[in-house]
Structure 1
Amino acid sequence: MNKKIQILTLGAVMLVSSCFMTGCSSKKNELMNYRVKASGTAMQITNDTTQDYLSKDICVIPKKGQTKKQDAVMTAGASLMVNDTDGKMLYSHNIYKKLYPASITKIVTAFVALKYGNLNDTVTISHSAANITEYGAKLCGFKEGDRIALKDLLYSFLIYSGNDAGVAIAEHIAGDTKSFAVMMNREMKNIGAKHTHFVNPHGLHNNKHYTTAYDLYLVFHHLAKNRTFMDIVSRSNYTAKYVDATGKSKSLYFTSTDRYLLGTAKAPTGITVIGGKTGTTNNAGSCLILYSKGKKNKDYISVVLKAAGPYALYGQMNHLLDYGTK
């Protein structure tokens, strides 16, 4: 056995052992049928149900390793609850089913913007950003020619879920929304989220714009390590300051779309909601991804996609959060 093969083999053994020790799943054979291969100097572990690139602290949930007996309360299209501290699956259903994410898309836009953008940059709102005409599209209300720091734009975008801010961010980073979507898809694949395809930065409906609960978990897991992102999604409101096309100082006040942060939804006793991102369209239903803390200071990521409405969404999310108190 040559030195390169020895290194690859040792790396594979260490990575698999690490996943078992962190309790990624309840099945002993969870990593069976994976294959290890060299790609340049990178290590890859692949199969047809999970990611190409494994972070050492990712919870791996093979398709057959999902919760076998479905809970009658969980009627959403897909749902997932992970102990993110220990990398342990607590509940999962249809997590590889391709569904429309609506505005949860915006966390991936943030992922790209935080990686490639400078938060101190000044963004000028374009005509296309200021003139979204799709019925029901939520807008921050920025006008063509307005100039705003990327940081303020990103806070407005995630907290209020304004689609005009999403277009402005995409154009600033990549030149146009189509090129930005290419970046989104590339970055998702780079973290192993290979069941995702995006065509816009905001999540307004398109039949070719979809993801999975597991892919959203993967990107949120990475974003949770970013202090700026976590500060944004934990806020119940934000005042964005900017200047208009004439140079006049302006401000807009935004409130969160997350009912936990607004106090109109209450998490189970023992759970502290840190923050997250909502999403709603007719095709996507009601969606929410959430970061929370439970007993012994454990962190949790929970996802509900395609619930029948806000009442069902928060009821089912609370049911998932209950797992974090047990």
Structure 2
Amino acid sequence: MKKLLIIAAAILLCIAAIPSKAAAQPSVSARNAVLMDMDSGRVLASKSAHERRPIASITKIMTALLAIESGRMKEKVKISEEAVMVEGSSLYLEKGETLTLEELVYGLMLRSGNDSAIAISQFIGGSTPEFVAMMNKKAKQIGMKNTVFMNPHGLDDPQHQSTAYDMALLTAKAMDNLEFEKIVGTASYKTKSRPLRVWENKHRLVREGGRITGGKTGFTKRSGRTLVTTAKQNGLHLVTVTLDAPDDWRDHQALFDNGFISYRLVNVVEKEPFKVPGEHDFFYAKKMVRYPLTEEEKKIAYVRIVLDQKKDKSENSAELWIGDEKQMEVPIYRSKKQETSFFEKVKGVLD
């Protein structure tokens, strides 16, 4: 049996969470758009973000992530005839030449090489169909509920579809990988293999730098312009995804401007043990929990502590609520260590 303790204070926090229903619909050229906080998963703005659509070359985010996670980036890959013959954007690879997997991933993400995508899929999966099965398995693990991959490059296929929201989930997962983050944030890259190739990133905002940390472009006649961009400012790590967006560069900058101006991170639960009124034990979270809120949301946000009366159990949690909407739930654990009281921590946040 559990008892409920409500700590009604204007505090906030963040950990993997339920997206707020209050996400604004932005005024953008895109048919589909989402602005998401990558650390918490909170959706800050959206427009038809769960509509399934063709996604073109932003597909390659999944292809790159699987390649990097294979741990084989320094191995050499021999280019097949099938890779050379694929249509669309190309690195102009030649049959029989060899490049490292790392070089192919750079070419994949900076120049959107479809030949690179096929070469990677054959090397990692043994065959392209087997690699596509890996892509769909990974999508399911990430929680991409409205995504089906049919190829590793994103060329049009009636069944090859995703959503702005699912692609934001994928990008947030991928950006947790430091090697992926480095590659997609690279403005230009020079191969070590011969012939020497120099690739400039097609993503204009990545080349411009500043708060932009990475991204991927995409286009087919069927999908229109698709774009993924990540940015970091004031401790916030945001991702924007647009599908079928004629003015996508402007859309992304406007969405980031709004997100960074409107939201701030606030600590609610930390790793250090804290005291809960009426309890002899102390409590702690396994990691610091933060959440992005607007100034108006801070006025109506509170944390609700739910404790299990059986002290040998660990089913305790801290819930973040904004008004009558539950945003997320974080497991908390009992500790005998004495530290700053919970209310002192809350006071420190509010001061």
TM-score under structure 1 length normalisation: 0.73
Inter-partner Cα distance in structure 1 for 2:22 and 2:145: 18
Give the 3 Å change call, closer, same or farther, for CA 319–59 of structure 1 in structure 2: farther
Pairing of 1:50-65 with structure 2 (within 5 A): 57-61=15-19, 65=21
Distance, in Å, in 1 between the alignment partners of 2:158 and 2:166 is: 18
Identify the residue that residue 318 of structure 1 maps to in structure 2: 253
Is 1:305 matched with 2:243? yes
183-192 or 316-325, which deviates more: 316-325
Higher relative contact order (CA 8 A, sep 6+): 2
Superposed CA deviations along residues 136-183 of structure 1, whole A, max 9, x for unmatched, are: x11001100011111111111111111100000000011221111111
Q: How far has the Cα of 1:306 moved from its partner?
A: 1.0
Correspondence for 1:272 among 205, 208, 211? 211
Asked if the contact 1:22/1:88 (under 8 Å) is kept, the reply is no
- Counting only pairs closer than 5 Å after superposition, residues 57-136 of structure 1 correspond to structure 2 as 57-61=15-19, 65=21, 67=23, 70-71=25-26, 73-132=27-86, 134=87
Q: Distance in 2 between matches of 1:292 and 1:190?
A: 25
Which residue is 1:260 aligned to? Answer: 205
* Larger strand proportion of the pair: 2
Residue of structure 2 in register with 1:290 after alignment:
229
The aligned runs of 1:1-326 (5 Å cut-off) are 22=13, 57-61=15-19, 65=21, 67=23, 70-71=25-26, 73-132=27-86, 134=87, 137-242=88-193, 249-263=194-208, 272-294=211-233, 296-308=234-246, 312-326=247-261
Q: Which residue identity does 1:111 align to in structure 2?
A: L
The separation in 2 between residues aligned to 1:21 and 1:108, in whole angstroms, is 32
Distance change (3 Å), C-alpha of 1:22 and 1:287: farther
Q: Which amino acid aligns with 1:78?
A: N
Amino acid at match of 2:229: L
Structure 1 residue 67 displacement after superposition: 3.5
| 1:5-61 alpha-carbon deviations (Å, 9 max, x no partner) | xxxx99xx9xxxxxx9546xxxxxxxxxxxxxxxxxxxxxxxxxxxxxxxxx43433
Q: Take 1:67 and 1:225, find their aligned partners in 2: how far apart are those partners?
A: 24
Instruction: Give the counterpart letter for 1:272 in structure 2.
Output: R
In 2, Cα distance between equivalents of 1:229 and 1:128: 26
1:114 partner amino acid:
I
Query: Retained in 1: the 8 A contact 2:74–2:101?
Result: yes
Asked which structure has the greater CA Rg, the reply is: 2
What is the CA-CA distance between 1:79 and the residue it aligns to? Answer: 0.8
In 2, are the aligned partners of 1:123 and 1:150 still within 8 Å (CA)? yes
- Unaligned residue ranges in structure 1 (runs of 5+): 2-8, 14-19, 24-56, 243-248
TM-score by length of 2: 0.68
CA contact under 8 A between 1:66 and 1:92: conserved in structure 2? no
Question: Which residue pairs with 1:46 in the alignment?
Answer: none
Give yes or no for contact 1:22–1:87 (8 Å, CA) kept in 2.
Answer: no
- Give the CA deviation at 1:86: 4.6
Cα separation, 2, equivalents of 1:141 and 1:201: 17
Percent of matched pairs sharing the same residue: 30
| Unpaired segments ≥5 residues, structure 2 | 5-10, 262-351
Aligned residues: 255
The answer (yes or no) to whether the contact 1:125–1:145 under 8 Å persists in 2 is yes
